């Protein structure tokens, strides 16, 4: 009879003849967890100081240390010792239905999350410092700290926890450090090669002392992040500022604004361009940042909650890593919210609103970590930490480039012409789309299609005719741009020194990166707006866009105008440059008028020009 019960135990674990040592451990845990609540912890329990033996220790007592599978007879031999485990206070006792979470877990968890959320408000305190030239470099150190803490927390704690490793038993720490070695070896090797292959990196000129502006050194950050990413934000491409008109020389083109680059928007001229707007006028990027931050903070809360359920040390370690990552992250987001049109109170409100999701994740993380193994949460959080550290934030440091804005020199002439020509050519597709959207164009194509359809009784001829008309229209637009490029290269761009450097209150700047010219901007006293300075020839090389170069060029020009007492900067842009409109309005430019180019083709295609104006604050005497 007794043997049949023993065989039932063996059959429960899938084998009717033996019991593995692993299943023996599970059997011991099951036995102790099923015991009824009893005063086994009382002083009267004679076994209160007895050690709870593990499965290997138990087998060793009965001389079965070399046995991997227990037979029925061997299980019968150790059964008294198994029953004895029930009475030992040192053996684990878990009641699945009622799990008590220690008060300090809740207290320390909420304290950690509150401190992390309050760190987002530090962006408000540091906004005045963003006008300092050293601010981007200082922020670099915070980003480095964030990368180190996230990477180490993921590699040394979260991922090993998710895999069930015990640092005291498995000794994985030394091997995990090898991950850092591999990462940093390649990171520094790439940096050394990048420096070694630079040609004339320090080639920086400072001539023309009669001009009261110094060369500007700027640190550029290019990376979509911290936020994940991965938001589409204010996406615009730096290109030329030209118009197809002899009377109005230039049109601003698309300028690149990247979320991470928004931190630079105040480094030179200051934050005087930040304007508050009604909620309905706030840019879409603000809402995307708020939503993505809410999701990010929710996952952070999950990781913190699950970590504190394991141990206070694990919880504090994870909290410190998240805090170091959140500070530069939230600082950048705060500046983005301001630049997207929010006022300071609005930015604070929505920043804190997204931070509240961290509390929701915290509660869920504690509950899940207490009722289930938190390994899954650790795995998710570890993967996120690695991605943020290696894909997002380290990309910021790796792509960090220093460029200089300086006066034009004669050796830059060919580069300037190439940048202008390529930039203008990029306007052809957007101009073609603009023409196709016009009612007159659509009506003409429809009439041609219907007329040929009715006369030929075939659909092939109308399709062919419309296709030829579209191709002819595109070629016409290409011809117009080619003609304008040729005229410009023969006029002011053929004699930049005479046009922009010798005339009073005029200048031509180039942005130089790693010894090559990558961007241009110029200014002349406005002809139609007497007393104002006109922004002209703003263009950035395609390979160096989304790095804040165009914005730095604009700010340099604004400083130039302000130092010379000009009350405003004006510029002209076309209807096809919609993203450029958003950028200028975000920087503080106001649209003052719009008009159609006085040419026949421009009139029938509704090629509208916009005039923007930026009022400058004059320095106090």
Same domain, 287 and 371: yes
Same domain, 113 and 240: no
How many whole angstroms separate alpha carbon 429 and alpha carbon 532?
Answer: 33
Residue 194 is predicted with a pLDDT of 66
For residue 593, is it within any domain? yes
Residue 416 is predicted with a pLDDT of 92
What residue has token string 């510029």?
A: 571
For residue 260, is it within any domain? no
For residue 226, is it within any domain? no
What residue has token string 């429960």?
A: 12
Same domain, 306 and 345: yes
* Residue 442: partners with Cβ closer than 8 Å, 6 or more residues away: 436
Same domain, 428 and 377: no
Same domain, 67 and 151: no
Range of the domain at 249: 234-254+406-621
Residue 616 is predicted with a pLDDT of 87
Tokens of 212: 């009261």
For residue 95, is it within any domain? no
Same domain, 138 and 247: no
Q: What is the pTM of this model?
A: 0.48
Residue 287 is predicted with a pLDDT of 73
How many whole angstroms separate alpha carbon 104 and alpha carbon 311?
Answer: 10
Backbone angles phi, psi at 52, to 5 degrees: -85, 115
Give 264-306 as a 3 state SS string: HHHCCCCCCCCCCCCHHHCCHHHHHHHHHHHHHHHHHHHHHHH
Q: How many CB atoms lie within 10 A of CB 451?
A: 12
b/e 401-428 (16+ beta carbons within 10 angstroms → b): bbbbbbbbbeebbebbbebbbebbebbb
How many whole angstroms separate alpha carbon 338 and alpha carbon 41?
Answer: 60
What is the mean pLDDT for each group of 10 consecutive residues in the chain (621 residues)?
A: 71 68 74 58 63 78 80 81 74 55 83 83 67 65 71 77 70 75 75 62 36 38 30 32 34 36 36 43 65 77 84 84 75 64 77 85 81 66 71 61 84 91 87 89 91 88 92 89 88 89 90 88 90 90 78 88 92 82 76 83 81 81 52
How many whole angstroms separate alpha carbon 287 and alpha carbon 298?
Answer: 17
For residue 268, is it within any domain? no
Residue 131 is predicted with a pLDDT of 59
How many whole angstroms separate alpha carbon 28 and alpha carbon 131?
Answer: 66
Answer yes or no: are the C-beta atoms of 551 and 220 closer than 8 Å: no
* Residue 412: partners with Cβ closer than 8 Å, 6 or more residues away: 510, 517
Residue 279 is predicted with a pLDDT of 52
Provide the phi-psi class of 343: left if phi over 0, else alpha when psi is between -120 and 50, else beta. beta
How many whole angstroms separate alpha carbon 201 and alpha carbon 219?
Answer: 14
When computed from its CA atoms, the radius of gyration of the chain, rounded to whole angstroms, is 34
**CA dist 257 to 228, 234, 243, Å?**
16, 6, 22
What residue has token string 């006008």?
A: 131
Same domain, 326 and 348: yes
How many whole angstroms separate alpha carbon 581 and alpha carbon 236?
Answer: 10
Is 142 in a helix, a strand, or coil? helix
Q: How far apart are the first and last CA of the chain?
A: 106
For residue 220, is it within any domain? no
How many whole angstroms separate alpha carbon 86 and alpha carbon 33?
Answer: 8
For residue 157, is it within any domain? yes
Is the CA virtual torsion 270, 273, 277, 279 positive or negative? negative
Tokens of 119: 């760190």
Select from 413, 398, 418, 429 the least CA-distant residue to 237. Answer: 429
Same domain, 471 and 376: no
How many whole angstroms separate alpha carbon 351 and alpha carbon 334?
Answer: 7
From 360, 377, 399, give the residue that closes a domain: 399
Strand ranges in 306-442 using DSSP code E only, listed in sequence order? 401-407
The number of domains in the chain is 3
Tokens of 566: 């000009």
What residue has token string 């053929």?
A: 494
Residue 477 is predicted with a pLDDT of 87
Residue 251 is predicted with a pLDDT of 36
How many whole angstroms separate alpha carbon 288 and alpha carbon 433?
Answer: 27
Same domain, 369 and 335: yes
Is 249 in a helix, a strand, or coil? coil
Same domain, 136 and 51: no
Select from 124, 113, 589 the least CA-distant residue to 346. Answer: 124
**CA dist 61 to 6, 48, 66, 84, Å?**
20, 20, 12, 14
How many whole angstroms separate alpha carbon 608 and alpha carbon 417?
Answer: 26
H or E segment to which residue 592 belongs: strand 590-596
Rounded to the nearest angstrom, the gap between the alpha carbon of residue 371 and the centroid of all alpha carbons in its chain is 34
Residue 409 is predicted with a pLDDT of 92
Same domain, 452 and 482: yes
Is 535 in a helix, a strand, or coil? strand
* DSSP class of 512: E
Residue 270 is predicted with a pLDDT of 35
Residue 169 is predicted with a pLDDT of 65
How many whole angstroms separate alpha carbon 438 and alpha carbon 442?
Answer: 6
b/e 482-521 (16+ beta carbons within 10 angstroms → b): eebbeebeeebbeebeebbbeeeebbbbbbbbbebbbbbb
From 399, 425, 440, give the residue that closes a domain: 399
Same domain, 379 and 500: no
How many whole angstroms separate alpha carbon 12 and alpha carbon 6?
Answer: 10
Select from 399, 429, 415, 423 the least CA-distant residue to 540. Answer: 423
Which tens digits make up the pLDDT trace of 149-207? 777 777 877 788 777 776 666 677 777 777 777 777 877 777 777 666 654 433 333 33
How many whole angstroms separate alpha carbon 221 and alpha carbon 398?
Answer: 9
How many whole angstroms separate alpha carbon 439 and alpha carbon 154?
Answer: 57
How many whole angstroms separate alpha carbon 621 and alpha carbon 618?
Answer: 9
For residue 203, is it within any domain? no
From 381, 399, 417, give the residue that closes a domain: 399
β-sheet bridge partners, residue 609: 574, 595
């Amino acid at each position: 009879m007794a043997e049949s019960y023993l065989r039932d135990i063996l059959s429960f674990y899938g084998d009717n003849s033996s019991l593995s040592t692993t299943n023996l451990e599970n059997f011991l845990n099951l036995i102790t967890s099923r015991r009824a609540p009893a005063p086994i912890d009382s002083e009267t329990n004679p076994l209160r100081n007895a050690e709870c033996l593990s499965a290997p220790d138990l087998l060793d007592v009965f001389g079965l240390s070399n046995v991997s599978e227990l037979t029925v007879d061997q299980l019968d031999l150790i059964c008294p010792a198994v029953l004895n485990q029930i009475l030992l206070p040192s053996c684990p006792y878990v009641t699945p239905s009622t799990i008590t979470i220690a008060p300090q877990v809740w207290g320390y968890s909420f304290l950690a999350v509150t401190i992390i959320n309050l760190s987002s408000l530090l962006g408000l305190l540091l906004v005045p410092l963003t006008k300092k030239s050293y601010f981007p470099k200082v922020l670099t150190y915070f980003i480095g700290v964030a990368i180190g803490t996230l990477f180490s927390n993921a590699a040394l704690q979260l991922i090993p926890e998710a895999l069930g490793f015990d640092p005291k038993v498995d000794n994985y720490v030394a091997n995990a450090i090898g991950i850092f070695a591999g990462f940093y070896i390649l990171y520094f090797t790439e940096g050394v090669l990048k420096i070694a292959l630079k040609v004339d990196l320090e080639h920086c000129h400072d001539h023309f002392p009669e001009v009261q502006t110094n060369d500007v050194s700027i640190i550029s950050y290019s990376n979509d992040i911290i936020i994940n990413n991965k938001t589409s934000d204010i996406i615009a491409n730096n290109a030329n500022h030209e118009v197809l008109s002899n009377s109005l020389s230039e049109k601003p083109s698309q300028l690149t604004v990247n979320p991470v680059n928004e931190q630079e928007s105040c480094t030179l001229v200051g934050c005087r361009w930040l304007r508050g707007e009604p909620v309905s006028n706030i840019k879409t990027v603000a809402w995307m940042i708020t939503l993505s931050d809410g999701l990010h903070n929710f996952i952070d809360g999950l990781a913190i909650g699950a970590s504190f359920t394991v141990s206070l040390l694990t919880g504090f370690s994870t909290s410190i890593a998240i805090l170091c990552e959140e500070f530069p992250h939230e600082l950048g987001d705060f500046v983005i919210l301001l630049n997207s049109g929010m006022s300071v109170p609005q930015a604070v409100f929505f920043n804190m609103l997204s931070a509240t999701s961290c509390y929701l994740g915290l509660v869920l993380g504690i509950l899940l970590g207490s009722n289930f193994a938190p390994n899954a949460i650790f795995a998710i959080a570890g993967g996120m930490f690695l991605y943020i550290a290696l894909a997002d934030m380290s990309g910021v440091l790796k792509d960090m480039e220093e460029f200089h804005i300086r006066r034009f020199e004669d050796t830059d002439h060919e580069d300037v012409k190439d940048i202008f020509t390529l930039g203008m050519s990029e306007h052809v597709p957007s101009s073609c789309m603009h023409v196709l959207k016009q009612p007159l164009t659509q009506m003409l194509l429809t009439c041609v299609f219907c007329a040929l359809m009715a006369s030929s009784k075939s659909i092939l001829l109308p399709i062919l005719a419309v296709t030829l008309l579209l191709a002819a229209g595109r070629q016409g637009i290409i011809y117009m741009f080619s003609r304008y490029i040729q005229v410009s290269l023969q006029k002011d761009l053929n004699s930049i020194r005479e046009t922009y450097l010798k005339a009073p209150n005029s200048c031509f700047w180039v942005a130089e990166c790693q010894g090559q010219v990558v961007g241009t901007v110029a200014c002349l006293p406005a002809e139609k707006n007497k007393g104002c300075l006109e922004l002209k020839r703003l263009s950035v090389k395609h390979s160096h866009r989304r790095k804040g170069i165009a914005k730095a060029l604009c700010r340099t020009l604004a400083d130039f105008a302000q130092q010379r007492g000009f009350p405003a900067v004006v510029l002209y842009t076309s209807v096809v440059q919609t993203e450029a409109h958003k950028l200028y309005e975000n920087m503080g430019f106001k649209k003052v008028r719009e008009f159609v180019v006085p040419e026949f083709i421009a009139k029938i295609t509704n090629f509208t020009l916009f005039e923007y104006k930026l009022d400058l604050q004059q320095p106090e005497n």
